[in-house]
Amino acid sequence: MKRILTVAMLIMIMIQPLNVFAEEADPDLDLDLDGKSVILIERNTGEILYQNNSNEQLPPASMTKMMTLLLIAEAIDQGKIDLTDSVIISENAASMGGSQIFLEPAEEMSVDDLLKAVAVASANDASVALAEYISGSEQAFVQAMNEKVAELDLKETQFQNTTGLPAEDHYSSAHDMAMIARALLRYDFITDYTSIYEDYLRKGTEDEFWLVNTNRLVKFYPGVDGLKTGFTQEAKYCLTATALKDDMRLIAVVMGAESPKERNASISRLLDYGYSQFHHEKVYSLHDPVTNIKILKGKADQVPVITDDALSILTKKGADLSQLETKVNIDEHMVAPIEAGEVVGSLELYLDGELINEIDLISEQTVARANLWELMIDSSKRILR
């Protein structure tokens, strides 16, 4: 049984809901873009602001590495690996062609430096080295990549490797790439790497390697701090880019452009359009406190509840005042044990009675189950009240 707790405030802000896709609102919009497939979304709401042929299955080239980076970020966040860990490079990883940092078999490099090599220089050898370190083999890691595809409910994606090197039945779409980018950007530290324009590995040694970001927009478009380029003869020029301006993060994807110049120009036009036409209003930030819930049979009798993502609304610029209402849905009887990060309910955002956004609520802390003695003491206290 669920109990709906209505947050007692109505939030008044200068907004109007955007409940339809932008291309439905303006089907004749033409941004004069180069590429076989394009899409623009707002990160927090996932709202599609513009798209053209965004569900076509195409080779993603090195944009594949966004999924590789997502699994790496998860492993770091979950404590399975640490940035300071030293990785011993295998012959398989060292043998990777294409973009690389020329790792040698048995060379040791930190997770931090390997992650930097993937994020900045799109290094295939570093990608495989990290995949092997996390999953034991590249094949096992690829299986985890495709499991994540299913988890994210991506309909037009299948991976055969961690790098994006050409392979049969290795494909994705602009829409799915945007969704992978959206998931990846939950990990704030990723843009600490993808925003680096140049750096060095093995600095001060005879094998010093200069890293230069393959995404030139990091330097030349204000607010761009990621994410991933791609190129093969089959895929042509691809880019998933993200920018943060005025507290609004956009994700733009172009696949199959004829040149890097046209690819970057198309991404820039998508971002220009998004920032000129739309406004983002955040209602709750990631991990904001929302309420406390009572816990039965626990070592603590209540636990703070926090957001598992940002809750926000996207609007056309110049919209009128509207009234928003948030509602908290939480199980009425939560019984210990409860794990930190466990989903315990949801937070919904309504406008004029219509649900426009929803995020999970999670427990901020772990609450262990009380032992028999503790339960007896608690029962005694309740009787004496």
Q: Are 142 and 161 in contact (CB under 8 A)?
A: yes
- Residue closest to 351 by CA, chosen among 126, 16, 89: 16
Q: Is 165 helix (H, G, I), strand (E, B) or coil?
A: coil
DSSP states of 168-203: TT-BB-HHHHHHHHHHHTTSTTHHHHHT--EEEEST
Q: Are 326 and 12 in contact (CB under 8 A)?
A: no
Residue 99 exposed, middle or buried by CB count within 10 Å (0-12, 13-18, 19+): buried
Q: Are 52 and 350 in contact (CB under 8 A)?
A: no
Q: Is 149 helix (H, G, I), strand (E, B) or coil?
A: helix
Of the candidates 37, 54, 62, 266, the residue annotated as catalytic is 62
Of the candidates 54, 122, 127, 312, the residue annotated as catalytic is 122
Q: Are 255 and 289 in contact (CB under 8 A)?
A: no
Task: Return the residue matching tokens 């090197």.
Answer: 165
> Is 122 among the catalytic positions?
yes
Alpha carbons 218 and 196: distance in angstroms, whole number:
8
> Is 62 among the catalytic positions?
yes
Alpha carbons 36 and 272: distance in angstroms, whole number:
20
Sign of CA dihedral 198, 62, 159, 108: negative
Q: Is 314 helix (H, G, I), strand (E, B) or coil?
A: strand
**Distance, CA of 123 to chain centre:** 20
Q: Are 172 and 157 in contact (CB under 8 A)?
A: yes
- Residue closest to 114 by CA, chosen among 100, 99, 94, 130: 130
Alpha carbons 241 and 253: distance in angstroms, whole number:
6
> Is 259 among the catalytic positions?
no
Of the candidates 37, 65, 90, 116, the residue annotated as catalytic is 65
Task: Return the residue matching tokens 């390997």.
Answer: 114
The DSSP symbol for 245 reads: E
Q: Which residues are catalytic?
A: 62, 65, 122
